[in-house]
Structure 1
Amino acid sequence: MLLAVAAIAVGVALLIWGADRFVDGAASVAKNLRVPPMVIGLTIVSLGTSLPEMIVSAMAALDGNRDLGIGNVLGSNIANIGLVLGITALVIPLTVKSMTLRREMPVMFMVTLLAFALMADGALSRGDGIILIIGLVLLLAWITMLGLRDRDDPLVAEFTDSIPDQMSMGMSLLWFVVGLALLIISSRMVVWGAVEIAHLLGVSDLIIGLTIVAIGTSLPELVASLVSALKGEADLAIGNVIGSNMFNLLAVLAMPALIHPGAFAPEALMRDFPIMIGFTIALFVVSFALKKSGGVINRFEGGLLTAGFAGYLILLYFQSAA
């Protein structure tokens, strides 16, 4: 048990550091190629925070643990809203101004409904995986178009500040490769440790994916959102979560579908997906609903999101113990 816990702890730490190096390298390569900061932020930086989930789900699928990967997707999306934004808003209220985020929110609902429709039959096929990847490509094309068009959006300055300082192309490529290697190695450690703990505690791979793995792989979003909020970049903090959740449902959910297709635990569809939708609606309500010029996610609302996440963990505990 101690070895498995250590593998997860070290693996998650390396995942976070490796993801940072990978994103820094990729963003610097794009910057050297004169890609606009808004495009870099909406694509590379946002996708980068989902890399831990993507690599972990891919490795789990390669090991035949489909439910671990699916649990990682749903649990991470719930944690991103309930834990990440909840804690961030408790630390400092988040003022929402970006019109880009207002446009992304309906798209996130569409992506959520697409994922639900593909999972509704209780299985993920390779055809479902291909549809998700097509959706990912279309999403990247759409947000790239937004980035090229909305040059006056408040996110532009925030993304510019978040992109690392200029590095040479050689150094950028080096960090890109080093980060990718660390992601692969550390994800293997996390998956092995998670499966060992699941077997030792007698709980399902789905539960471990929804809890330990999901919270661990959501740490990059928590760090990124806290740092952004403390810098006064609230739109970037919320944008990280919205972007990450969309990429999780498209890129990360595609991993088990493409690598190890088949039926998954019914609880994922009957219990966890509806709860994820509930948290998504809650994000919309506290961020945008009835707030024509943007809004503020205050500490009370942050507390409600965090309490909701704690309640979800308690629900999982009692159901797994039953």
Structure 2
Amino acid sequence: MEVLWLLISLVILYFGAEWLVSGASSFAARLGVSPLIIGLTIVSMGTSAPELVVSVKAAMSGQSALSIGNVLGSNLFSIGIILGISALIYPLAVKRQLLKFDVPVMVITSLLFLLLFIDGKISFLEAFIFVFLFVAYMAYLFVTSLKNKNVVSEDEEPIKLYKHWIIDVSLIAVGLIGLVYGSNLLVDNAIIIAQKLGMSEALIGLTIVAAGTSMPELATSVVAAMKKRSDIAIGNVVGSNIFNLLLILGVAGLIYPIETQDINIIDSLFMLGISVMLWAFMKIGTRIRRWQGVIFLGVYFLYFFIKFAEM
């Protein structure tokens, strides 16, 4: 029965992503705001809602391994699987702002987490620092959005503009609801299956729950790639990764101190390493090519097999 619900959740995720991308693209065009900014803010925060719910609930229940594992696993999944698959579908154009600011922020944030969590703890002060940095980052994006106008690249399809902004907002809202509901349905049933297989809390968080809560990002970025909306496809992933580390872990840590030895430095190094790899790929070309997408997929599956070998 759990497998049937998994399939149903995937259908819900697809349509939720379709509506979210369409509504967000139209909304960005109507406001004259870059789709990249929309991808880094509205879309990334919306698709990260499942990670927020799962990690905060886990922190309140004292399940620190699940809370941390969900965030690290989601960030690895986002670059390894989501960008990997998206690049295979359509080579993703690299925007200057991503290369010069947002991806470096993601790398620095990943490094900061590695250094602060090296003792296996996220204290109240460290959690506050994460939240403060997130507010500063969002303030920067808000200022940037006032300066940048919507520019469509020659290789991108023109954005379909709906008749009224209410339709844009409705599509975004319904899409987000579908993504959150679909991912929760997927995660609940995936956890049941994982527990039947005898997996640990940390491993479930790093793999099954992380992949499940990342389904909104996967669905959204894949649909965006199919529509040749590189801004949203990449912005969604980069924004979600920053959101996961700074706000989700920050809020979770403020609610309840996070402490676990089940998440080791190898997990943090893989997350940092794949983030640096994305930055390097973006610096050597104007696109994330299909062969680079294959490498992302390879790195993630290497990590996946290492974790399961530890069982």
The answer to whether structure 1 residue 205 and structure 2 residue 201 are counterparts is: yes
The one of 242, 246, 250 aligned to 2:246: 250
Aligned mates of 1:207, 1:238 — CA distance in 2: 27
Where does structure 1 lack aligned partners over 5 or more consecutive residues? none
Q: 2:48: which partner in 1?
A: 50
Aligned equivalent of 1:270: 265
The corresponding residue for 2:300 is: 309
Residue 117 of structure 1 is matched in structure 2 by 115
CA–CA distance in structure 1, aligned partners of residues 45 and 145 of structure 2: 15
Q: TM-score, normalised by structure 2?
A: 0.81
Structure 2 equivalent of residue 284 of structure 1: 279
Alpha-carbon distance in structure 2 between the residues aligned to 1:15 and 1:258: 31
Within the alignment, does 1:102 sit opposite 2:99 as a pair? yes
When residues 178 and 226 of structure 1 are mapped into structure 2, their CA distance, relative to the original with a 3 A threshold, is: closer
Q: CA RMSD in A?
A: 3.5
Deviation at 1:74, TM superposition (A): 0.7
Q: Give the percent of matched residue pairs that are identical in Structure 1 and Structure 2.
A: 37
Gaps of at least 5 residues in structure 2 are: none
* Contact 2:78–2:217 under 8 Å retained in 1: yes
Counterpart of 2:286? 295
Q: Which residue of 2 aligns with 1:59?
A: 57
State whether structure 2 residue 226 is matched by structure 1 residue 230: yes
- Aligned pair in 2 of structure 1 residues 229, 31: CA closer, same or farther (>3 Å)? closer
Output the CA distance in 2 between the equivalents of 1:84 and 1:254.
24
Question: Quick one: distance in 2 between partners of 1:126 and 1:187?
Answer: 29
State how far apart, in whole Å, the 1-side matches of 2:87 and 2:177 are: 34
Aligned residues: 308
- Whole-angstrom CA distance in 1 between matches of 2:29 and 2:198: 48
Distance, in Å, in 1 between the alignment partners of 2:6 and 2:132 is 32
Q: Tell me, in whole angstroms, the C-alpha distance in 1 between the residues paired with 2:224 and 2:126.
A: 35
Kept after mapping to 2: 8 A contact 1:71/1:206: yes
Deviation at 1:51, TM superposition (A): 1.5
Deviation at 1:57, TM superposition (A): 1.6
Q: Which residue of 2 aligns with 1:139?
A: 137
Q: Assess, with a 3 A threshold, how the Cα gap between structure 1 residues 307 and 184 changes in structure 2: closer, same or farther.
A: closer
Q: Deviations over 1:227-284 (max 9, x none)?
A: 22222222332222111111111122224313332311x3423121100111111111
**Is residue 9–residue 182 contact of structure 2 (8 Å, CA) maintained in 1?**
yes
| Counterpart Cα distance in 2 of 1:282 and 1:206 | 25
Which residue of 2 is the match for residue 219 of structure 1? 215
Using the TM superposition, give the Cα deviation of residue 101 of structure 1 relative to its aligned residue in structure 2, in angstroms.
Answer: 0.9
Q: Which residue of 1 aligns with 2:236?
A: 240
Distance in 1 of aligned mates of 2:263 and 2:157: 35
Letter paired with 2:96: M
